[in-house]
Amino acid sequence: MAYLKEQFPKSGFITYLEPVIAPIESFYSENNSLPPGATFVENYSDINSIAELIKKFPNQKLYFDTWATWCGPCREEFKYKHGLYKLLKENNIAVIYVSIDKDDKDETWKKMISLYELEGRHLRANKLLENDFIKLYDDNGGIAIPWYLLVGKDGKIKYEHAASASELDKLKEQIKTL
């Protein structure tokens, strides 16, 4: 953006381009710090199953958001995160973001957490954990993301296909049954 401002200081397009370019520049900057309210799940690369992951959060209600950096619909759902966070907080439910990105996307994954200001706990699934998610979603070896799970305080999955952030009314009804 600095180059455009320098080369075309009187351009009327600067005011239109700046809001679009600023987030892109921020994404590619060296800053990889997590946004406030975000943490990585401790030793997440060693978690090999959904059961192991749930055990990391004993006696807690959980909302899993399974996503990947390359998934457009996943990123679209992030628009609704403020309503989601409010609903989850009101119901004492922790949000866990599970990325199914491959190892070579680690840096991009971390940057996207910051870019989208995703609060909650984060992990990038290893192959065993990803396979466990795939088995739960569809035992035929497929998974469609974004995908959400709701887990009760007892550590049992109550909804294998929970509502998304853009379906808050439906999610509210599901939460009532936890």
How far is 91 from 73, CA to CA, in rounded Å?
26
In the prediction, which pLDDT does 12 show? Answer: 84
Residue positions counted in the chain = 178
Q: Which helix (H) or strand (E) holds 93?
A: strand 93-99
**pLDDT tens digits for 36-49?**
999 999 999 999 99
CATH H-level, domain 32-176: superfamily? Glutaredoxin (3.40.30.10)
In the prediction, which pLDDT does 19 show? Answer: 81
**pLDDT tens digits for 65-117?**
999 999 999 999 999 999 999 999 999 999 999 999 999 999 999 999 998 99
Domain ranges of the chain: 1-30, 32-176
How far is 87 from 44, CA to CA, in rounded Å?
26
pLDDT at 23 over 70: no
How far is 88 from 90, CA to CA, in rounded Å?
5
pLDDT at 121 over 90: yes
Q: Which helix (H) or strand (E) holds 98?
A: strand 93-99
In the prediction, which pLDDT does 84 show? Answer: 98
